[in-house]
Amino acid sequence: MNESNDHAVVAPRRASAQEMPVLDLGEWIAGGDIAPLVAQFREACTHTGFFYVKNHGVPQSVIDAVFDATRRYMSLPMEERLKDKIDERFRRGFMPIGVTQHPGHKPDLKESYELGLDLPLSDADVQAGRPLHGPNRWPADKPWLEEAAMAYFNHTIALGKRLLRVFALALGQPEEFFLQYARKPMVQARLFHYPPQESPTQLELGAAAHTDYGMLTLLVQDPIGGLELRTKAGEWVAAPYIEGTLVVNLGDLVKVWTNDRYVSNLHRVANRTGRERYSIPTFFNLDYDTPVACLPGFVEPGEAPRHAPIKSGEYLVSRFASVQKYKTPAELAAEEAAG
Ligand SMILES: O=C(O)CCC(=O)C(=O)O
Ligand SMILES: [Fe+2]
């Protein structure tokens, strides 16, 4: 990292309604026509790859409860939380500041509690050592954390599966196309706490500028705000809290499906408010073995797709390893064998 290239990151203007539209899922969820939503989804995904959803079906009480539990947990003494420190194999539990570091940046100024699809040790994929497949890790003396987090997690899985229907139709596929790859989806949620930062800079932020990796990110943020994304013109804009909404954005694997037609956008977090910020992204990814490849209609006849086909899970694991201090299952097995 080059300190002399560092720049202060000042608060940008708010994203316009075109840069961050609000998609209303209410009518469709109530049994209405999906077509208008598909058109709005396509427009947003080819523009900034970011939008809000409202009337999304996740009860506000469930969202309030998971924020309350996250605040309560992150207020506990560090030594208490370190008892739940993330385990190398399954990557679930408390992740202190310092674990996530994007190349060329200082570590992100955030800490988190990580959870995912809760697979028992007897599960065939867990037995087979498939990366990131495993049981959640919960502090037994704080049942309120598991209760609130899993209630929220299960609702976002339902929302993610709903959005996959819209997504498939937007890409010219049958509505159920992605659901065939969401049998044991690699969904991960992160309960984030961002301490306030007086003067954010490009090198040191709550979350350094990055793109997400997979399919769909669903995010609830608290009223503090601080999420920023980059427009097509290269300008950073704020994606503030809007009551009753979640933020949705696309990840890099969508570029493979769509030959770069859909946007996986750079974004970052700067918490300049002087107050604690909390946010909870759920990363909705498909099954490990999903063959991700350019879909028909996204490449001209006679042209080759820009990205080689790839297995969803392998790609995700390689991306995690690039930003998190992370041991691969092979490295762990080698360590174990060495005693
Ligand atoms: O906390 C936020 O608002 C965004 C977090 C984020 O971009 C991420 O974890 O990938
Ligand atoms: Fe992100």
DSSP structure string for 184-231:
S---EEEEEEE---SS-BSSS-SEEEE---SSEEEEEE-TT--EEEE-
The whole-angstrom separation of Cα 20 and Cα 44 is: 8
The sign one gets for the Cα dihedral 305, 309, 314, 316 is positive
Residue 248: exposed, middle, or buried by beta-carbon count in 10 A (0-12, 13-18, 19+)?
Answer: buried
pLDDT in tens, 8-35: 888 899 999 999 999 999 999 999 999 9
The whole-angstrom separation of Cα 82 and Cα 177 is: 41
Pair 188, 113: CB distance under 8 Å: no
Pair 319, 212: CB distance under 8 Å: no
The whole-angstrom separation of Cα 116 and Cα 122 is: 16
Amino acid at 336: E
Angle between helices 143-170 and 60-74 (to 10 degrees): 130
Which tokens go with 149?
A: 């987090």
pLDDT in tens, 301-314: 889 999 999 999 99
As a whole number of Å, the end-to-end CA separation of the chain is 36
Distance 32 CA to ligand 1 centre (A): 32
Distance 101 CA to ligand 1 centre (A): 13
Distance 114 CA to ligand 2 centre (A): 14
Ligand nearest to the CA of 110: 1
Is the CB of residue 225 below 6 angstroms from any atom belonging to ligand 1?
A: no
Residue 272 has pLDDT above 70, yes or no: yes
Residue from 67, 108, 191, 279 whose mutation best tests the ligand 1 pocket (most atoms within 8 A of CB): 279
Which tokens go with 298?
A: 């996204």
Confidence of residue 327 (pLDDT cuts 50, 70, 90): low
Residue 123 has pLDDT above 50, yes or no: yes
Residue 323 has pLDDT above 80, yes or no: no
Residue from 191, 227, 237, 242 whose mutation best tests the ligand 1 pocket (most atoms within 8 A of CB): 227
Residue with tokens 């139709």: 169
Is the CB of residue 227 below 6 angstroms from any atom belonging to ligand 1?
A: yes
Residue 331 has pLDDT above 80, yes or no: no
Average pLDDT of span 136-162: 98
Distance 336 CA to ligand 1 centre (A): 34
Residue from 192, 283, 284 whose mutation best tests the ligand 1 pocket (most atoms within 8 A of CB): 192
Average pLDDT of span 253-281: 97
- Residue 153 domain boundaries: 3-337
Ligand nearest to the CA of 190: 1
Pair 71, 42: CB distance under 8 Å: no
Which tokens go with 241?
A: 């809290």
Average pLDDT of span 157-174: 98
**Percent of the chain residues past pLDDT 90, beyond the cut:** 83
Q: Which range, of 126-130, 161-165, 198-202, averages the lowest pLDDT?
A: 198-202
Distance 221 CA to ligand 2 centre (A): 12
Pair 194, 109: CB distance under 8 Å: yes
Q: Which residue has the higher pLDDT, 203 or 252?
A: 252
Residue 274: exposed, middle, or buried by beta-carbon count in 10 A (0-12, 13-18, 19+)?
Answer: exposed
Confidence of residue 1 (pLDDT cuts 50, 70, 90): very low
Pair 20, 52: CB distance under 8 Å: yes
Which tokens go with 166?
A: 């819209």
* DSSP letter, residue 5: G
Torsion angle in degrees (nearest 10) through CA of 26, 64, 162, 268: 110
Confidence of residue 325 (pLDDT cuts 50, 70, 90): low
Three-class secondary structure of residue 268 per DSSP:
strand
Ligand nearest to the CA of 239: 1
- Classify strands 277-284 and 216-221 as parallel, antiparallel or unpaired: antiparallel
Pair 34, 219: CB distance under 8 Å: no
Average pLDDT of span 133-158: 98
Residue 188 has a pLDDT of 97
Is the CB of residue 270 below 6 angstroms from any atom belonging to ligand 1?
A: no
Q: Whose CA is nearest to atom 3 of ligand 1?
A: 227
Confidence of residue 329 (pLDDT cuts 50, 70, 90): low
Distance 207 CA to ligand 1 centre (A): 7
Q: Whose CA is nearest to atom 1 of ligand 1?
A: 279
Q: What's the chain's average pLDDT? A: 94
* Ligand 1 atom nearest to 212, measured from its CA: 10
CB atoms closer than 10 angstroms to residue 40: 17
Number of domains into which the chain is organized: 1
Nearest to 204 by CA among 285, 297, 98: 98
Is the CB of residue 214 below 6 angstroms from any atom belonging to ligand 1?
A: no
Residue 128 has a pLDDT of 94
Distance 141 CA to ligand 2 centre (A): 31
Three-class secondary structure of residue 279 per DSSP:
strand
Complex-level ipTM? 0.99
Nearest to 237 by CA among 10, 8, 7, 5: 10
Is the CB of residue 267 below 6 angstroms from any atom belonging to ligand 1?
A: yes
Is the CB of residue 212 below 6 angstroms from any atom belonging to ligand 1?
A: yes
pLDDT in tens, 28-48: 999 999 999 999 999 999 999
Element (H, E) at 73: helix 60-74
CATH classification at residue 185:
2.60.120.330
Residue 5 has pLDDT above 70, yes or no: no
